[in-house]
Structure 1
């Protein structure tokens, strides 16, 4: 529920009150004596979904933009008469004016934005190097990235170029700064006593997670954008949703920075691609949801519905085109991951099936370890496979077991392998 207070300009009192009477809205009017431009102050309660429609009608009745209109959130309205308004305005979204106000509130001042972004990147970079998911999530609470994403989408659907430009600029500059901070921090920490000697960041699980982006990565970004738009429209849960948006952007940006610091071009490229794809996906889902929710610019003499539609569609087309271009990388990584897992499963199944043969009675298959990677397979390198075999008492181990396994696995997968067999003494009762 909202409480709207409007200062009525001179000469428009009757037309403004006629609109409220026509809407069957209860109101209270107080004569204004403080300034000569206004003749009265009218206050009335209304459900949040009805604010935009009523204000539009009041503007048509002579309520100018230079007048004062205050929309206040109310804790409770006690009246049996308010029920009919709640039935008429049963929606859940806030008004266009409140949406703009919330978007501007979510986008902090430039200095505040930079400070929080740098701090969150520093914490996230430390979390990546420590392989600490909890630290990374803690950094996301600080990251101020939800505001710019929402601001850009709100500005686009409402035809506010200033708001849209500010949101886009904050996002692009912010993520570039996050990558730079990650690179500087990595360069300062590399080869110091704070990190293990000869650390290979590619082997850190939290880093590796951001360097092999697949199509599944899009679900986080798309879901975060939709959740962000819903939380703003319904004024609920923005802080928690902001964490989800930051998770999709800050850790891969910090990973790209670490890749630059360590000189691993592929790490920087893969993580940078994930940043851009997630950024586009968040903006796509938020922009689309705001537009489908019915938000449009103020319907004045300059309002052109066709122009607004063209502007939104143009930006949507640009975002989709960028995502499709970058999705080539995601598609390639997705296929590579699938083929790699398929080969690893086939190696496991073939080794297990061979040792289950009666010819190898007393030899029990325990497991297989391989670092096979389909991306490197195209270079026709030889891959080492380690198989652990349990040997029961009295069992005979063929002297060429490793060669036999090599022949069978290589023939089944078509991969040039080097098989190494380790044995465990086993007792079976």
Structure 2
């Protein structure tokens, strides 16, 4: 699996970029156009590298502070036919499907953890679907609500914030959850009140025992176990860019159904079921975040322990030492 890295850099620093690229395992092609960049003024270097080597390459380029002087963009070509690329891939350990590019994970997590109108609308629609599924005892509507729910983005943001100690990202994810869920629950409660007034459902039918939706307000050991497994699968699908697995995570957890049941139970005066739904929501949120943190931490530790060739020149080593502890320019 090949990736294309396009670097815009002042001409004075372009030689260092070229040297790093020439000596980095996994780079199959290097092209450089001098003086083609007008803003900022400098060169454009385009690299082709196998995915499993890109994270290490970005770390080495980080020491040059390219983000402050120009830019680095990474894209994935639809098709690359190259014998040289195939040979280079054999020389690099690991597999492209398992390779993680942390800048990519951080960008995706940042985008999905914000309190936006799009996030709020999806959350409101999801909780409304959950409320409808609860009053009609429809598991299809409940599953639909799970799929539509956007809450995994902020939860993944919280996990990444814990691992990287990025408290701004943690606040962003917490705000999306703390503001988003109450608003969605209140609107679902208003919709339930309107449906009750219009006679769309009978409260006794909703409150009877042995309904398919009872699991929502009955948290137990398996609630936490499912949340942990779903959180681990969700983070693995996020860092591995496997969207189909992420949809499966949405179907597994009961965060959205619990929010919907809180709204319905409060309208019907069932405080006990409302409390049970709140506990279910908290159990799922905590399990997902805990599992996501664990997955990220394990991947981070495994990567740090993986041996790799040291190909820095003395100048690059000094630059890297100088930049230890500085802000990662690839993070937003």
Matched, 1:5 2:6: yes
Change (3 A) 1:173 1:158: same
Distance 1:184 1:64, change over 3 A: closer
Question: For the aligned residues, what is the CA RMSD?
Answer: 2.6
8 Å CA contact retained: 1:186, 1:258: yes
1:338-377 to 2 correspondences below 5 Å: none
Q: 1:139 to 1:54 in 2, by over 3 A?
A: same
Name 1:90's counterpart in structure 2: 94
Distance of 1:170 and 1:65 partners within structure 2? 30
* Matching residue of 1:261: 267
Structure 1 contact 154–287 (Cα < 8 Å) conserved: yes
CA 1:118–1:197: 2 relative to 1, 3 Å: closer
Match of 2:324 in 1: 301
Q: Which stretch shows the higher mean deviation, 86-95 or 229-238?
A: 86-95
Question: Deviation of residue 231 (structure 1)?
Answer: 0.8
Question: What's the offset of the Cα at 1:200?
Answer: 4.7
1:127 and 2:150 correspond: no
Distance in 1 separating the partners of 2:94 and 2:41: 32
Decide whether aligned partners of structure 1 residues 284 and 94 sit closer, same or farther in structure 2, where only a CA change above 3 A counts.
Answer: same
CA spacing shift, 1:110–1:46, aligned 2, 3 Å: same
Structure 1 residues 78, 210: closer, same or farther in 2, change over 3 A?
same
Partners of 2:132 and 2:19 in 1: CA distance: 62
Who is 1:22 aligned against? 23
TM alignment of 1:84-123, pairs within 5 A: 84-87=87-90, 88-91=92-95, 92-107=98-113, 110-123=116-129
| Distance in 2 separating the partners of 1:236 and 1:78 | 24
Is 1:212 the counterpart of 2:204? The answer is no
**Higher normalized helix content (fraction of residues):** 2
CA-CA distance at 1:23 after TM superposition:
1.3
Aligned mate of 1:39, from 19, 22, 42? 42
SS at match of 2:242: coil
Q: 2: CA distance between counterparts of 1:235 and 1:202?
A: 43
Task: List alignment gaps of at least 5 residues for structure 1.
Answer: 305-429
**Structure-2-length-normalised TM-score:** 0.82
Match among 271, 276, 284 for residue 282 of structure 2: 276
Give 2:330's aligned residue.
Answer: none
Partner Cα separation in structure 1 for residue 195 and residue 35 of structure 2 = 65
8 Å Cα contact 1:12-1:62 kept in structure 2: no
Q: Matches of 1:71 and 1:49 in 2, distance apart?
A: 13
Match of 2:192 in 1: 186
Stretch of structure 1 that moved more, 167-176 or 185-194: 185-194
* Distance (Å, rounded) in 1 between the aligned partners of 2:210 and 2:128: 17
- Which residue number in structure 1 is paired with residue 317 of structure 2? none
**Aligned-pair distance for 1:89?**
4.7
Q: Is the 8 A contact 1:27 1:45 kept in 2?
A: yes
Aligned length, in residue pairs: 303
- TM-superposed deviation, 1:132: 0.7
TM-superposed CA distance for 1:191, in Å, is 5.2
| Aligned mate of 2:296, from 290, 293, 301 | 290
Q: Deviations over 1:187-229 (max 9, x none)?
A: 3333542113644525361342222221011222111111111
On the 8 A contact 1:133/1:206 being kept in 2, the answer is: yes
Secondary structure at 2:48's aligned position in 1? strand
Shift of 1:50: 1.9
Counterparts in 2 of 1:201 and 1:151: CA distance versus 1, 3 Å: same
CA deviation map 1:345-401 (0-9, x unaligned): xxxxxxxxxxxxxxxxxxxxxxxxxxxxxxxxxxxxxxxxxxxxxxxxxxxxxxxxx
Alignment match, 1:404: none
Residue range with higher mean Cα deviation, 178-187 or 44-53? 178-187
Residue pair 2:126, 2:145 contacting (<8 A) in 1 also:
yes
User: 1:165 corresponds to which residue?
Assistant: 171
Secondary structure, counterpart of 1:77 in structure 2: coil
Which of the numbers 55, 58, 68 marks the counterpart of 1:65? 68
Change (3 A) 1:67 1:161: farther
Equivalent residue of 1:119, what SS? helix
- Measured at CA, do residues 116 and 200 of structure 1 come closer, stay the same or move farther in structure 2, by a change above 3 Å? closer
Structure 1 position 240 matched with structure 2 position 273: no
1:183/1:257 contact within 8 Å kept: yes
Worse-matched range after superposition: 270-279 or 218-227: 218-227
Is the 1:3–1:71 contact (alpha carbons within 8 Å) kept by the matching residues of 2? yes
Query: What displacement does 1:49 show?
Result: 2.7
Instruction: Give the 3 Å change call, closer, same or farther, for CA 163–132 of structure 1 in structure 2.
Output: same
